[in-house]
Amino acid sequence: MNLAVKDIKHNLGRFTLTAVGIGMLLMVVMGMGGIYRGIIEDATLLIDKIGADIWVVQHNTRGPFAEISRIPQNIDYRTLAIPGVVSARKFVQHTIQRSYQNKRLRMTVVGLDWPVDKGKWLPLVAGRILNQNHYEMVADRSLGMALGAKIKLGKDTYKVVGITSNMISSGGDGIGFFTVNDALDIQFNTPAEAIRLERAARGVRLRKSDQGLKQPGLIEYAYQESNQLPALESPRVSAVMLSIAPGASPEQISSIIAGWNDVSVFTREDERQLLLKGSVEKVRRQIGLFRALLTIISAIIMALILYTLTLDKLHSIALLKLIGASNWMILKLILQQAIVLGMLGFGIAYLLGQKIFPRFPRRVILSDDDLVQLALIVIAISVVSSFLGIWKAMKVAPNEALN
């Protein structure tokens, strides 16, 4: 006969409610770890999925994932001249917030260098990749946009031709994939009145300049579109991504580009570490602190619960001692109940988490390693928490059963 099982059956209602309470607490601990994993996954998602070996960014910046980066579009031609570089792709990223179907829509816009990069690496769950240079987009399903839906961004309307899954930015926003040209049009969209005023201002400046006085025919060029003026460069991109040939040295290619004074260069791992040690670092520390505090609180609550359960059994424990039960038998009674309570709470936490975590606004990723680690922690907490009850049980005298 197992005394722990008999005692649990005798107090099944209270024991079950206690296990549910412990399970809810452990679910929060489990969720904290899952949120941290989700943040890491979202932060490094694009870097890992795109698969570029080298990132060329604005000089003295840490790249588009850490801060604003702006470099000329023709950098890709310069990098292709380096031995070992097999492809160069422009990259654009920025975040917008719009209204869509009378709801707030916050989206991270990522520009793909079409037709070099049509988005074949995207994890599509519906639709297709980008097949033309304008007016198409691939949206993550977290944005709530259906296949075939249309949205007006700036002066143009874009049609959703593909749906991805779990393509989330480091800020937790769903990603919309466009061509580089469309992404730049969205980013640098200017109201018609502002364009008119800028053209008029250019004309006034040129009339007042020596060049305008000497060559009045140039003034009419000031009123043309900006992209028609040779003196004005095209909009800058966020970065240029390089893929190198098998066997080529990323360090050697990076050292060549590092000699250019207008850009900075990072390998894929460099960019990944800069991201993790930048915007994600404080979140990691904060979640880690909360998780540690909740673990300590769980241990204290379990210790108090087991101590209370032991107090309720003091008369029974004294009676057991009176009829000759050993201290080891009583110790096993409390220890087994503690482990059963902890593991039952862990099971409840896992089952509830499977139902609740998918509804969280941020992704919660429960890895097998984290679950095993938490299970071992729960067992350790259960054992340590039982010491208070064991200490109290060991102090009970057999003659107390006669009172």
For residues 40 and 48, is the Cβ–Cβ distance under 8 A? no
Mean pLDDT highest for which of 191-205, 220-234, 271-285? 271-285
Confidence class for position 242, pLDDT limits 50, 70, 90: very high
- CA–CA separation, 184 and 188 (whole Å): 6
Residue 216 has pLDDT above 70, yes or no: no
Helix (H, G, I), strand (E, B), or coil: what is residue 245? coil
Burial pattern 136-155, b for ≥16 Cβ within 10 A else e, equals bbbbbbbbebeeebebebbe
Q: Which residue has the higher pLDDT, 298 or 75?
A: 75
Confidence class for position 179, pLDDT limits 50, 70, 90: very high
Residue 205 has pLDDT above 90, yes or no: no
Average pLDDT over residues 270-280: 78
| pLDDT of res. 214 | 57
Helix (H, G, I), strand (E, B), or coil: what is residue 148? coil
| pLDDT of res. 250 | 87
Average pLDDT over residues 139-153: 92
Helix (H, G, I), strand (E, B), or coil: what is residue 243? strand
Average pLDDT, the chain: 81
- 282, two tokens: 């404080």
| pLDDT of res. 140 | 93
| pLDDT of res. 351 | 92
Average pLDDT over residues 223-243: 70
Confidence class for position 1, pLDDT limits 50, 70, 90: very low
Strands (E) in 113-164, as ranges, are 124-127, 136-140, 150-153, 156-164
Distance of CA 348 to the CA centre of its chain: 26
| pLDDT of res. 348 | 92
| pLDDT of res. 282 | 79
Query: Which residues, 6+ apart, have CB-to-CB distance to 275 below 8 Å?
Result: 43, 44, 47, 63, 65, 66, 170
Residue 171 has pLDDT above 90, yes or no: no
Average pLDDT over residues 198-223: 61
Percent of the chain with pLDDT over 90: 22
- 387, two tokens: 């010491």
Q: What Cα–Cα distance (Å) separates residue 120 from each residue in 44, 172, 229?
A: 19, 23, 35
**pLDDT tens profile 304-354:** 777 777 776 666 666 666 666 666 777 777 788 788 888 888 999 999 999
**pLDDT tens profile 21-73:** 888 888 988 888 888 888 888 878 888 888 888 999 998 888 887 788 888 88
Q: Which residue has the higher pLDDT, 251 or 208?
A: 251
Residue 376 has pLDDT above 80, yes or no: yes
Confidence class for position 129, pLDDT limits 50, 70, 90: very high
**pLDDT tens profile 62-120:** 888 778 888 888 888 899 989 999 999 999 999 999 888 888 899 999 999 988 888 88
Average pLDDT over residues 154-182: 90
Residue 159 has pLDDT above 90, yes or no: yes
- CA–CA separation, 155 and 145 (whole Å): 19
| pLDDT of res. 108 | 93
Average pLDDT over residues 345-365: 88
| pLDDT of res. 2 | 56
